[in-house]
Structure 1
């Protein structure tokens, strides 16, 4: 019987620690636009004009300090208040509602499309890592020849090479050369 503090030993050792997909860097301008829209929602022209004056005051104060002068977020916030002020000046007697402006809707649609594309890229990277794990598991006991190749196994080969080096690539290249190619990609007749 083993003691609880002893490490369990397994025969299979991973080649390398899995890496997490890099996070998208924060966009200070986009964050500022969202903050301004949220704050301005329901404001009338007078309230927006007051908020614009405050934003200009803070921008002037920040311009006096070297470390704050290049603050992209502050400039985007000021530009957002100016844009809202212009929109409400063109339509007197209304309140700001971001859902009614085409510019805002187009920007939100662009952001949603970019997020969808990023999510698809992350899913594809995860699929490649999972297939690489599968092929590595088959490669270790020597049963790789029994696996059927898939359309994207070249990308998987690159992942295995990145993890362990060219000796794995040689095994996978030999397997890809010997394995019969399917006539049609998976899912197609």
Structure 2
């Protein structure tokens, strides 16, 4: 079973696609969570890929390294840092642990290329990220809402989305 650490993955990507990686700036977790001890800086160990080179990096992971199974696409909203981080998790068909590619995009222009033409399984994951966070995946064949109705305004999983509905009427923090 293949086992590839984030450091080894970064080295392989840097050798094959020298301009694809970015050096991540630590993100401040602010305000500090009420359940956590302190405010801190967070730097994920996984490779941070330039948005315009995502397809190249993902195809390298699949075609060269053999990680052909795109398991999921997740979005992290770093409201106070002003960005979204899109997290792609890949598995090797022979088993072993997963590898992760990350892409950061600004909150005011969250655009990233679609992986759907290369991984059909990305179709619904990208539609979900579009519907709930407003991430635009260029080249997606059918980028429409998947959970919310077409007339719904806004993106309900964004941290700055206003709380509404009977559960929150009159509630103040």
TM-score interval, smaller chain: under 0.3
Structure with more of its chain in strand, by fraction:
2
Structure number with higher helix proportion: 1
Between structure 1 and structure 2, the one with the greater Rg is: 1
Q: TM-score, length-normalised on structure 1?
A: 0.25
Structure with the bigger RCO (C-alpha within 8 Å, sep 6+) is 1
